[in-house]
Amino acid sequence: MNEAQERQNPAATRLSVPVPDLAGMSDDELLRMRICDLKLKIAGSELESRIEKFSAELAAKGISFKPLCYLGDEWFCPDGCATIAIPFYLAHPRLKKLEDKMMMEVEGGTESWCMRLLRHEMGHVLNHAYLLEKDKRWQKMFGPPSLEYSESFRARPYSRRFVRHLDGYYAQSHPEEDFAETVAIWLTPELDWKQQYKGWTALKKIEFVEELMSKLAGQPPLVMSKTKMGEAARLRSRLEAYYKRRRRLYAQEFPDFFDADLQKLFVPAAAAPDNERAASFLRRSGKLILNAVSAWTGEPKFTLSRLLRALTDRCAELDLRLRAQSAGVEIAAYLATLASHYRSTGKFKGA
């Protein structure tokens, strides 16, 4: 087909584009591709069976309508819509591998993680579809939805006012997230939430959700927009630009590490010349430390990895050595403290 024919019949041009062999591509080749040219579909991917399982969970809870799931650039439910965007990289194993390399984790990459995220996003769908946040009881239970979202919030790890579903005490970040997380707990099959949350204030929230859902059973949604914001099939950005943007989003300006902190964790080489170098230990144990701190603080691994790398480089510059065998525990605690401070203040350490 020549250029003139393409202009006359663009639909035919789109149909003639072959599905690329993503599995056989190198990272560099993939990064040069536009997202829309990946030709990804939910049908035939591992997502298909997971969405079917999710639909069965909804039916078991008496929810008669199903949200429209589509491939987007991240996990989200567009405001005012009954749709759920699922990251496009989950539709192909080769893209999951690239995602893991670029971001150090694949959000929703396992079945259990994917199902937890679908249940969470369904909380937003229900909120939008039935305009629930406008209800006075909803606002009294969860708080005013007009509160501004913030990347940092003061998490209370031992608070019993909030359910625990996604990592990082996400229910505490905003009233809408509190509701979505509570719905997710209520949706989880075979979870005895009455026993698990016995004595918790959060139990009243789950009971409120159950009462609310029983009243809405069989009722058609008030809002049923199927808008697909950020649909992968329409995204013309190349993967290289996509990851550059995301890595910049998760990157932080780190403070200079205080030597006093490091000297509490490690010792100068002159004091223990035969002990293992701190930098070598951190490079060897970094992945294990990173996984533990990310799981308990909710901070993205990409951000924590840059933090750990800066710490490792500074240890190498000062030629610090291990003080004791418990170094890994102490370093994890130190990183968790920095991450928790960032979570509540927006900074990794105060001035």
Q: Annotate 213-256 with DSSP letters as a single string.
A: HHHHTTPPPS------TT-GGG---BHHHHHHHHHHHH---PPP
Query: Do 207 and 257 belong to one domain?
Result: no
d(CA 293, CA 335): 7
Query: Do 191 and 258 belong to one domain?
Result: no
Q: Which of 195, 218, 241 is the last residue of a domain?
A: 218
Q: Which of 194, 218, 242 is the last residue of a domain?
A: 218
d(CA 255, CA 38): 39
- Give the Cβ contact number of residue 1 at 10 Å: 10
The boundaries of the domain holding residue 190 are 131-218
Query: Do 331 and 261 belong to one domain?
Result: yes
Instruction: Dump the DSSP string for 101-160.
Output: HHHSS-TT-SHHHHHHHHHHHHHHHHHHHTTGGGSHHHHHHH--TTSPP-S-----TT-S
State the pLDDT at residue 65. 86
Query: Do 262 and 315 belong to one domain?
Result: yes
* 81 in any annotated domain: no
State the pLDDT at residue 259. 72
State the 10-residue block means of pLDDT for the chain, 351 residues long: 45 62 96 97 97 96 92 93 96 97 93 97 96 95 87 76 90 94 97 97 97 91 90 96 88 64 87 90 89 84 83 87 81 84 63 44
Query: Do 261 and 321 belong to one domain?
Result: yes
d(CA 293, CA 304): 8
| H/E element, 344 | helix 327-345
Query: Do 258 and 339 belong to one domain?
Result: yes
State the pLDDT at residue 30. 97
* 90 in any annotated domain: no
Query: Do 267 and 334 belong to one domain?
Result: yes
State the pLDDT at residue 1. 43
Q: How many domains does the chain have?
A: 2
Q: Which of 199, 218, 237 is the last residue of a domain?
A: 218
State the pLDDT at residue 27. 97
- Give the Cβ contact number of residue 272 at 10 Å: 14
* 5 in any annotated domain: no
d(CA 351, CA 112): 40
Query: Do 182 and 258 belong to one domain?
Result: no
Query: Do 152 and 203 belong to one domain?
Result: yes
State the pLDDT at residue 224. 84
Query: Do 261 and 213 belong to one domain?
Result: no
State the pLDDT at residue 9. 54
* 329 in any annotated domain: yes
Cα dist from 68 to 45, 65, 95, 231, whole Å: 16, 10, 23, 12
* 63 in any annotated domain: no
How far is the first Cα of the chain from the last one, in angstroms, to the nearest whole number? Answer: 64
Query: Do 151 and 213 belong to one domain?
Result: yes
* 71 in any annotated domain: no
State the pLDDT at residue 314. 85
- pTM of the predicted model, to two decimals? 0.78
* 287 in any annotated domain: yes
Query: Do 258 and 331 belong to one domain?
Result: yes
State the pLDDT at residue 96. 98
* 1 in any annotated domain: no
State the pLDDT at residue 250. 72
State the pLDDT at residue 79. 86
